């Protein structure tokens, strides 16, 4: 009888230990699940206004006789999409088309990272700072000017740029949000050279995108 009671006690004790281990494993799994990274996908569309500053020079036979710059501004349309990690880290791919003169086309493709900042007691407001890499293409049909013969009918400028970004997201609903974004170039690289003949002399015009800035208002949806 004593042996039977002893075996029963050991059996019940092993059941209790197994229950505790199972509970600990369940709690650990729940804790691990809570610590898993949350990721959401989003898309946003909008528009805004941009400003660019170009630098140019004209030279002939190695002698530069003009060097200057000019600025232009216009509206733009953008669409972007990407992933949001832990409601803080955002990576997106952006395409922008700029409204320009009829003889000029301009677009950009960018890859950006934003860090969204939590503000206590303001869960629907998220300011952010970030950085982006952009590839910008500007193509222009060269004008017909009496006395000037261009080497080509058009000129294309491809520019790589790094830009700083700052803005804020405002949640409208659980899925919809409005984003205000401002970015400005920190570095640009790339130029194009166009040849022309005037009064028997050959000239070369070199142009480059010196700097740019943009302001945008976007409507986004998180899936």
Tens digits of residue pLDDT in 35-76? 578 999 999 999 999 999 999 999 988 788 788 998 888 899
Q: What is the pLDDT of residue 11?
A: 41
Q: What pLDDT score does 37 carry? A: 80
pLDDT tens for 173-214 read 999 999 999 999 999 999 999 999 988 889 999 999 999 999
Quote the pLDDT of residue 13: 54
Given this model, what pLDDT does residue 62 score? Answer: 77
19: confidence class by pLDDT, cuts 50, 70, 90: low
Q: Across residues 154-181, what is the average pLDDT?
A: 96
Closest to 79 in 3D by CA, of 91, 98, 93, 100: 93
Structure tokens at 136: 């910008």
Q: Picking from 125-129, 131-135, 197-201, which range would have the lowest pLDDT averaged per residue? A: 197-201
DSSP, residue by residue, the chain: -HHHHHHHHHHHHHHHHHHHHHHHHHHHHHHHHHTSPPEEEEEEEEEEEEEEEEEEEEEETTEEEEEEEEEEEEEEEEEEEEEEETTTEEEEEEEEEE---TTEEEEEEEEEEEEE---TT-TTEEEEEEEEEEEEEEEEEPP--TTEEESSSEEEEEEEEEEEEEEEEEESSSSEEEEEEEEEEEEEE-EEEEEEEETTEEEEEEEEEEEEEEEEEEEEEE-
Q: Which of 11-20, 162-171, 195-204 has the lowest mean pLDDT?
A: 11-20
CB of 142 closer than 8 Å to CB of 155: yes
Task: Look at the chain and count its residues.
Answer: 223
Q: What is the mean pLDDT of residues 148-174?
A: 94
Structure tokens at 119: 């503000």
pTM of the model: 0.77
pLDDT recorded at residue 35: 55
Q: Quote the pLDDT of residue 166.
A: 98
pLDDT of residue 104: 83
pLDDT of 6 reads 45
What average pLDDT does the segment 159-177 reach? 96
How far is CA 87 from each of CA 52, 127, 217, rounded to the nearest angstrom?
33, 12, 20
Chain centroid, CA 38 distance in Å: 21
Spatial neighbors of 141 by CB under 8 A, at least 6 apart, are 103, 104, 153, 154
The whole-number average pLDDT for the span 91-119 is 91
């Amino acid at each position: 009888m004593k042996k039977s009671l002893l075996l029963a006690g050991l059996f019940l004790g092993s059941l209790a230990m197994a229950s505790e281990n199972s509970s600990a494993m369940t709690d650990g799994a729940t804790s691990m699940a809570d610590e898993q990274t949350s990721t959401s996908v989003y898309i946003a569309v909008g528009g805004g206004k941009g400003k660019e500053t170009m630098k140019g020079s004209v030279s002939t036979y190695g002698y530069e006789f003009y060097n200057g710059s000019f600025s232009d501004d216009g509206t733009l349309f953008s669409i972007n999409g990407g992933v949001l990690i832990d409601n803080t880290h955002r990576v997106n791919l952006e395409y922008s088309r700029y409204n320009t003169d009829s003889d000029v086309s301009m677009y950009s493709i960018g890859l950006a990272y934003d860090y969204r900042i939590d503000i206590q007691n303001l869960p629907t407001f998220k300011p952010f700072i970030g950085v982006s890499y952009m590839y910008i293409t500007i193509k222009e049909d060269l004008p017909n000017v009496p006395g000037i013969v261009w080497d080509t009918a058009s000129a294309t400028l491809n520019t790589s740029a790094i830009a700083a970004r700052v803005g804020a997201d405002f949640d409208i609903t659980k899925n919809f949000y409005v984003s205000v974004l401002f970015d400005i170039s920190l570095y640009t690289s790339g130029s194009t050279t166009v040849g022309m003949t005037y009064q028997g002399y050959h000239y070369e015009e070199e142009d480059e995108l010196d700097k740019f800035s943009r302001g945008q208002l976007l409507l986004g949806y998180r899936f």
